């Protein structure tokens, strides 16, 4: 099976490399930058100039793009996937977008006999590189089963959550939990630091208890080492929370805590920090308390 991959950013490039390592033939198209395309070609992939050219050559096309407008452009726009895909082609959108957009695209693709899964991921750049992402998919079970070996070459966990759109609903739930975890961790570590207790020792003390989480293990060391280079940017998390809030409003679900964290991230964006990793949410609380969270060195 020949696979197409469109979108070679922080996540898409390492995911593509893992497909090559698994032995798949790959044709790639960069949505914006050309450098990653050249890197993938050097690793054994073929290059295509447009999404439509990818669809002409591939049995299955994966998209990994920033948000709904970019995915719609690539799938439905001029020189897009829909123009060139043949009946029987499968589109797997691994972007994190609005569930209603996934359903809209799936309906239009189906008119041409093209199947679709929405299959967003969690784990950030480190797990994309390691091939240990968590994939949450929506779509027909028979289509999911065909795609499962391919998805497993990029992920350690792949779950079919329901019909088309269910993957992105699951991802929105995931992003709410991650955002609130980071905010709670930030608030707690600022409290500890201001009270004169090393946040590193707090981290070591609580990580094995009920407060422990994958988020805590991944983000606490970054905060204390002041390493905010992006594994997952604040502005992308804002996009996900905005999709969560819009979806919730459409179906009548209040999300007061999500809205609060969204405003914290908005404040950081105003400060010019939206391209930092979402662990930099701690900087909002640090500014309020006039303290910086870092491990305290003993004499």
CB 76 within 8 A of CB 100: no
Residue 3, token pair as written in the block: 């696979």
State the Cα–Cα distance between residues 147 and 47, nearest whole angstrom.
Answer: 22
Please, what is the angle between helix 256-270 and helix 166-194, to 10°?
70
Identify whether 227 is a catalytic site residue: no
Alpha helices in the chain (DSSP H): 12-21, 35-42, 51-57, 68-76, 81-84, 99-110, 124-130, 141-152, 166-194, 199-206, 214-225, 234-251, 256-270, 282-289
Q: Which of 13, 171, 219, 239 is catalytic?
A: 171
Closest CA relative to residue 66, chosen from 215, 235, 180: 235
Active site residues: 171
């Amino acid at each position: 099976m020949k696979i197409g991959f469109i979108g070679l950013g922080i996540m898409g490039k390492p995911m593509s490399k893992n497909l090559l390592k698994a032995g798949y033939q790959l044709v790639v198209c960069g949505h914006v930058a050309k450098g990653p395309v050249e890197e993938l070609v050097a690793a054994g992939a073929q290059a295509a100039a447009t999404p439509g050219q990818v669809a002409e050559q591939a049995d299955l096309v994966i998209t990994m793009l920033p948000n709904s407008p970019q995915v719609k452009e690539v799938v439905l726009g001029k020189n897009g996937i829909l123009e060139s895909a043949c009946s029987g082609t499968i589109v797997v959108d691994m972007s994190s977008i609005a569930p209603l957009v996934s359903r809209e695209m799936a309906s239009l693709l189906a008119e041409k006999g093209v199947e679709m899964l929405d299959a967003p991921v969690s784990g950030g750049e480190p797990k994309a590189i390691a091939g240990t992402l968590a994939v949450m998919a929506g779509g027909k079970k028979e289509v999911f089963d065909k795609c499962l070996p391919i998805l497993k070459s990029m992920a350690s966990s792949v779950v079919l959550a329901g019909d088309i759109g269910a993957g992105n609903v699951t991802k929105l739930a995931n992003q709410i939990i991650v955002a609130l975890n980071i905010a709670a961790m930030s608030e707690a570590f600022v409290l500890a630091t201001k009270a004169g207790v090393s946040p590193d020792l707090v981290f070591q003390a609580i990580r094995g208890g009920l407060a422990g989480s994958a988020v805590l293990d991944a983000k606490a060391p970054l905060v204390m080492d002041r390493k905010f280079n992006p594994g997952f940017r604040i502005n992308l998390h804002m996009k996900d929370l905005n999709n969560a809030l819009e979806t919730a409003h459409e179906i009548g679900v209040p999300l007061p805590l999500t809205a609060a964290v969204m405003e914290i991230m908005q404040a950081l964006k105003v400060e010019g920090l939206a391209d930092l990793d979402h662990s930099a949410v701690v900087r909002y609380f640090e500014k309020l308390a006039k303290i910086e969270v870092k491990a305290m060195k003993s004499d």
